[in-house]
Chain A
Amino acid sequence: MRYIDPHIHMSARTTDDYERMAAAGIVALIEPAFWLGQPRTNAGSYMDYLSSLVGWERFRAAQFGIRHYCAIGLNAKEANNEALAEEVLELLPRYLLKEGVVALGEIGFDDQTAAEEKYYRAQLDMAKELDMVVMVHTPHRDKKTGTIRSMEIAVEQGVAPGRVIIDHNNEETVEDVLQRGFWAAFTLYPHTKMGNERMVEIARRYGSERIIIDSSSDWGVSDALAVPKTARLMLDSGISAEAVEKIAYRNALAAYGQTGQMAEKDWLEPADIDQRTLFEGNSVLRGQQPRVDELQQIPERIKDLVFK
């Protein structure tokens, strides 16, 4: 089975992760712009970060045969530094329409402050104007209120629910999100948020329509293989292959492929290897052979790398 991890912060991960992800069947991923763990103090460092998402990180993923897409936006935490936020908002149009930018995100609430709401609304307006999909981060604290408020504001700003992915759901929020017509994504963090078994129960109860799973892996304790591992657990628990494929691959493609910036042909029918496709070179592999052509050998390796 093929997988997409539609929320993972690869800038914080090593090439070991890329290698194992490719071996486990992840063909594409989405890296949303987010907080770096340490607050940024100026727009220049934000700009370099956004450039790395469309530049170096995209190239790095390609070395392992994984297609890298990204979401660009001002995250909720840093919306509270208004001087920074104003400047970042001015930078965003330079990135939002670039090739492979599949969404505006991740945006939304953290502490649910007035500043967060102001920049959330401003970015929703931007998404509407540029006809973009939106990835919404829901708060860890006071989650249910924050999630409902995020959806209400999106509707108020005139963004269609079908264009919005509400991320980091749990058992308490999923019904509201699905009922209102939004996409419901679940983050599979080890120890916190959604554990793999809980996700299996959610799939049993709510089916596979508009449900998406992701790892949100970053520099914290997280698992870059959460999507394939959870998919395997679902299959082992008797959930149909068709449903698992939707949850771990097809729904993410449908949601984030709406603007044509991510398409299955990108990885099923890659262009010939030449200097324009970027699927070559070995500057990351430092003298080892590129792995790109070896991906067909994956099935034997999955058991060793992923499921032990």
Chain B
Amino acid sequence: MTPHELLQRWLERQLPPAASEWLEKSATQIQASGKDADLYLAVSLVSRKVGKADLALSEADLREAASARPQWNPRDWSADQAARVFLVLALESDPERLARALERLCNSADVSELIAFYRGLPLYPDAPRYLGRATEGLRTNIKGVFEAIALRNPYPGEQFPQPAWNQMVLKALFVGSALWPVVALDHRANAELAHMLCDYAHERWSAGRPVSPELWRCVGPYARGAMLEDLERVLRTGTELERRAVALALRASPDPAASALLQRDAALAKAVARGELTWERVAAT
């Protein structure tokens, strides 16, 4: 099944018959009429016709989602978001028209609509076409919109060039978003990002503000030289949670000095070696 078909099935299963019929009819009309106005009106009306309940998905549904589209994770989607993406995907067979319509939709979108359109990024045909739209979306000051792109969304990890990726990760920390839901976070780690994050940590320390323990996750694999001094500082002065994060980062570092540093705290070193510490646990604490 395609993501479009899955959305259709989930919505049909969940919505009252009248809402479900309205949605089907609207999608057919959008395909048939060739008029973008039909799409605009239907997308607006979703909040009235479909409502905002959570999209009710089982573990089996989520597995199907991930096999229909690798890394697609609609776990926290709502029914209105699913319906809006479903309506946009009514144009799936005409990627040109979909791209044109989506750009216009985004330009006149309300906040909830923007969140839905950005969550749909991994599902639109001809993915590279949406790179500009996605990076533009990240410039928002609205956290919900930012997170629709940055979190639980495989699009940035697959499509973003390194500078855009690095800006996204840095901004996630800046606006107080968690990093663990960023898809491909470890895979896309890079030396430049590690430097940027250490600079950012210094900025926070100078201002007397806390540093997210998750920051060190993207530093670890590239930690060497002066960066190890930063890790050492946290290991010495940080909270228990920060020290666990740094222990994980040190383990990921290729520099032998890092493992020497880690051995200074026998208990932490042991916990890391046994796999008792994970980034997910650090983030959840």
Q: Which residues of A are at the interface with B, using a C-beta cutoff of 8 A? A: 47, 50-51, 54-56, 58-59, 91, 93-100, 260, 271, 275-276, 278, 280-284
Contact call A275/B144, Cβ cutoff below 8 A: yes
Could you say which residues of chain B place their CB within 8 Å of the CB of A59? 111, 141-142
In Å, the complex CA distance between A59 and B144 comes to 10
Q: Which residues of B are at the interface with A, using a C-beta cutoff of 8 A? A: 37, 40-41, 44-45, 47-48, 52, 78, 81, 107-115, 141-144, 147-148, 175-176
In Å, the complex CA distance between A260 and B115 comes to 22
Contact call A94/B108, Cβ cutoff below 8 A: yes
In Å, the complex CA distance between A275 and B143 comes to 8
In Å, the complex CA distance between A98 and B48 comes to 9
Could you say which residues of chain B place their CB within 8 Å of the CB of A47? 107-108
Given contacts A50-B108, A54-B111, A59-B111, 9 further A-B contacts (CB under 8 A): A51-B107, A51-B109, A55-B109, A55-B110, A56-B141, A95-B108, A98-B110, A99-B110, A276-B81
Could you say which residues of chain B place their CB within 8 Å of the CB of A100? 110
Given the known inter-chain contacts A93-B41, A99-B47, please indicate yes or no for A281 contacting B110, CB distance below 8 A: no
Contact call A275/B110, Cβ cutoff below 8 A: no
Closest chain A residue to B78, Cβ basis: A276
Given the known inter-chain contacts A47-B107, A275-B144, A284-B141, please indicate yes or no for A93 contacting B78, CB distance below 8 A: no
Majority DSSP secondary structure for residues of A touching B: loop
Residue in A98, A281, A283 whose CB lies within 8 Å of B44: A98
Could you say which residues of chain A place their CB within 8 Å of the CB of B45? 97
Given the known inter-chain contacts A93-B40, A276-B78, please indicate yes or no for A283 contacting B108, CB distance below 8 A: no
Contact call B108/A97, Cβ cutoff below 8 A: no
Could you say which residues of chain A place their CB within 8 Å of the CB of B113? 98
Contact call A55/B147, Cβ cutoff below 8 A: no
Contact call B108/A58, Cβ cutoff below 8 A: no
Residue in A91, A260, A275, A283 whose CB lies within 8 Å of B141: A283
Please list 14 pairs of residues, one from A and one from B, whose beta carbons are closer than 8 Å in the complex, sorted by A's number.
A51-B107, A56-B142, A59-B141, A94-B44, A94-B108, A95-B44, A97-B41, A98-B47, A98-B113, A260-B48, A275-B144, A278-B144, A281-B144, A281-B176
